[in-house]
Structure 1
């Protein structure tokens, strides 16, 4: 079958979010997305399908292909994409060195996305995610300092994906525990800068702090405390690395009582003081 006739438009954001700042040609052949043949790669891949119909075989499981979908392909996973008719696909390969940063920003563990690798999106959300990814590529092609822009867009992309994951999670697990976890994540993303206490979130959910921890451990493999702390550390690190904000400003932003309490919190969970973290990372270029 002539793959050129099967495809209307294909675009690749090569080496997206990898360590190489040289961007390859954006256009690529459909064969690069394993059309009609099984393949596995040592990259994390996102496949966005704007228009398409067929079957995507991922780890021997069949997933129907429809318009406005996002497909997660993990490193060394065998998959085969079989499409019929015209289709529009956007294929993104992510360097393994950046996967951990994506996993940290995702509110669900990667095991959830391995079990549920295909998401149906609304047309609006699909184009929002695609817009952010394309702008990441444009930023990487420019000669400007893009630390803050890249991190900001990663944050937006992963939050949108996490919201879709939350909807899928609720749909597949239509029970009280699932509803509580979805509400906890929503509350945490809203209040984490000002509220670090599990009791605050447990009271909002009308359950005990202990039960909230049990549910989080059962559903996410993490305690509620570690989820909250992880979110705070991610944003503090991002701010320290990408903005001109002083440590004193962060103490205020994140509702710490003093510079000392903020520094103790940061060092406890990272092994470095905020100043040492800045010094250690100031000359590192991730992208």
Structure 2
């Protein structure tokens, strides 16, 4: 079992539901726990009161009122609050949203501060989802799914409208999705370019223009993120992690990780354990 937990809705290791919504709760351990963990579900957390930090995949974000967070499965995260925190929480599995075949890897930001008009729309959707969840009426599940889909579209629109960058071309969204599904086995830009039907040079031009980084760097960043997740959330030996991710030589694995992070896998694991396993 992962040492920091791989948790289902309700934050247990047993899956017993695919959807949950709570409004204006305070320190509810059935919604969030006080240690680093990853989810097997999606979560939308809307902060109403409180402060502290929310670490998501090793990036720290401040907890402030009217900041909304979107957490994806597999992401390692940890809420460190200063005192009590009041927030609303929506949690759902990918299976729950199958009727909509939603691409959750689009442009929904990890966190976003809501403007007044955005708060009104988000509050309306949260209330509608909640009321439907307790209504016991016919077709309530289908209506909840529809309203969650609308909420996700709203969050995506908020992210796009408030982005200083141009809208990302569809080919780059597909590139990111291909990387997510194949990075452990395929690390050559040429492979992904072939899957997308473009040249490696053209793909490189696009990533530099829209992400300000080469196409290869995106592959390496995803690989480093996975190594960090495994170092933190599992008790696997470093050699096991290297083998799992396709490295045939432990020495090359260590050099690769240090080149991109500045620390060895062993140093990183020790540092993260001290930080997150309090």
What TM-score comes out, normalization by structure 1 length? 0.47
Pick the structure with more helix per residue. Answer: 1
